[in-house]
Structure 1
Amino acid sequence: MFVGHKKRIVCMWFPRLASDRALKVRPVDGPFALTLSQHNTDRIYCLNHQAEALGLHRGMSFADARAFCPSLISQPARPDLDARFLTALRRWATRYCPWVGVDGEDGLVLDISGSAHLFGGEAGLLEDMRARAERARMGVRLGLAETRGAAWALAHYGQTTGEINGLPVAALRLEPTTITALQRLGLRSIGDLAVTARAPLARRFGAGLLHRLDQAMGRMPEPINPDPEPPHYAVRLTFPEPIGILSDVMAAIARLLAALCAKLHDQDAGARKLVLTLRRVDRGSQQVELRLASAMRDPARILPLFDRGVAEVDAGFGIDVMRLEAVIVEPMLACQIGTQTHQPDRLNDLITRIGTRIELENVQRFLPADSHIPERSFTIACAAFSDPAQDWPGHLISHRPRPIRLFGPEPITAQGPQPPQRFRWRRMLMTTGRATGPERIAPEWWLQDDTWRSGLRDYWKIDTREGRRLWLFYTPQNPGWFVHGEFA
């Protein structure tokens, strides 16, 4: 007859996970705290031992904390980095057992049933956890019990093992309002709650209270669901004989791309950055980096984009291992199945090809901006990381055209509010043939702009007899004429 292992759960709580992570990157000798803006107020998010010893605590106003401790060193909190760090700790904890899950924002829960003997028993396993956390300069508190709820209670309220009846009701992971109400009724410990009639508790506090109590006592199961490992977008190819001819390398890349793009397709994702590593027989290696203008997973489109980078590789005495990895991946919507054949995005392919020569950031496009000021009516964005504009604001369409060339205002000699019949611009004498306007543009008073401090501008489109089509403006509050642009 097979006898199963008794359920044993370990809770690892890192009470200062955020500050420990930050101090691992940049150690500080003295009181330290991370701050986070909440409701337009900077508050203490996490702090180290020295700061706690001075009476500071989480949720405290940062201004009050600085008043209590002028020597407090602080930096902004990064919850996103804390989450990534906790994920890395979860992967590390799989050394103890395969069933490891994330518990809140600063804890892990492990099902060590049947694996403690690998570390000399439960005491040896817990000691190994403490020693490794201490070497990593991470504060940790451990709880070991037969249920997840009991392990959490022991870790958060100062006991590693033992009974939970003497622990406060807050150890049941209840809402603060429920905890306060129970304490007012004189139910201060889990033991007090366990011997109280269940029906009145359910009527007053709902089923959630009894649900948490039953989980801690083992009367209701609470599974541990490990997070799935994120997909790994990398493929590798080893050759029995070294290769060095360009055509052979490109053929190998085609095989790698087919396997990698199949993985991307299964995950409804596309690659934005690919790194090809080529290892030579002398153990040296070279990398070819390819940044794409849009998420792609079509091997036929990606393969030609490697031509330039691979051509510059020094194969030496030959390449025996090639590895291709998608280091930046984005979600990619599945294409609708229909009768029409999908056409490759030629513009994105062109941007990628140019970007491999001059860097993607240097391939730019114009986008409309919400401003009637000519200089601010557009922005310049990286073409690879922005979508083309589908429509431009009304003041830029044909009935109010803008010049194709816009430059800084250049003064000309003229008087009066009406366009001059003759004027000199850039050492050229111009004669006005037709004048269209005026279009009055007021400055955006809420912005500081030295070039528009003169006030209103009356713009005119001037067709000169010499063939130049200029954009002039007149400033009525400080009389003067300027050339601001030129039409095609």
Structure 2
Amino acid sequence: MWLALRFPNWALDFRGAAAEQPTLVVETTAQRQHVVAASQTALEHGVRRGMGLADARIRSPAVVVHDRSRAGETAALARLAGWAWRYSSQIHCAVADPNIQDARLIFEIGASLRLFGGRQRLLKAIRDDLKVLGYRYRAGLGETPQAALAFSRARRRVSDLAELPLASLSLDPTTRATLEASGFRRAGELLALPPAALARRFGPELLAFLEQLAGRRPHGLALFERPERYQTHHELFGAVENVQGLIFVLHRVFTELAIFLRGADSAIQTLRLSLVHEHRATTEITLRLSAPSRDARHLERVACERLERITLTAPVLEIGLLSDRLRPAEHAQGALWQQNDRSAGAPWPVVLDRLRARLGHEGVVWLDSPADHRPEYASTERDSEPRPHQAANGNGDTLPRPMWLIDPPEPISAQALGNMNWLSGPERIESGWWDQGQRRDYYRALDARGRLLWLFRDLNSGDASSRYFLHGLFG
């Protein structure tokens, strides 16, 4: 079973126009501008597809007019095809052509009926998704892709393939006119003819189409292949001059990205956002996440944090997106955040990404504990989470260490040493023979002001007056 979704106003709807604003998309052919798509408000004013622009302006004087962008239509339809991966692995998509004036998305759903609990539940899930996106469409079900598309084009409800009118079939205008002139009105009249006679009279192309329509030969349609990366562009209705306006536009951009990723059961970790200006260099913003994600709102928040730190050099006309390689989505929380017994609800990757977006990627780092006992080298900075280290003594117990290390260590006078209240020590640390090795005895002591200090005696020093140093303060 195949489902065909036909989008009569795709040239307009893919842009996400406001429903209350009368808006048209026009195309110029033979030096004549005619309407190819209209908003609901414009339709209520009497504007119709195929109407000349001058007539459309008479019916709706305040109408906003945009030129057609076939490249934009193609990019948006590819995004929608990615969404359909949620329901099918056999997907065909195509924009308007001379034989079919509408963009269409056709996919096989028979194999997914049990997964979604039956046909009605599956169709409801599809309707709910398309409602979120705001697309106007007509749907048709059939045993073949050609039949499903024909049912979606029928002006009245038809349940039998033989009852389909010729106007609903995907035939070129010349062939349709020839058939109508010969007295044919319905598909069943053609299907009843002997194949050899049909091919001899009207050509092999018509016979091939009818056999595909009836399922007597393979459908022959090119199927959509999931890309390795998410790469697309969004043409804006008008120039966006400030960051706040751009943030409003990005809400839909990231919603479509998330729907694509959900359909493809994928996630991304790096996304390059390109802001295309007129007569100015493109502004490039790279979003790096701490973990793969397909959460629209998370991606949107990270992008907004970055945008609030920049100044637009010129109005934005177009937004481009390019991700790293799509990777399988993780449906359970990864071990990356479970190893420290943190709350399952704590959104650590989300917090980390927003901090990096606000402070810069280099402004937020991880602390790692390398295999070096010298306090100066007990931690290093990394831009990614280090692997967990196993405790050396097996039970996780560690000796007390101050949070504040003094660099470089400060020598302590003999008078100050005399006023110390020694609490513990010595703890011998001897390491780094390969790099100006250290031999030290460490102590914890209270000074005259009640501060808890971490002191060491330098066993490599030959000067007795400078053997003791202050190396840290406990909280």
Q: TM-score, normalised by structure 1?
A: 0.46
TM-score normalised over the length of structure 2 = 0.47
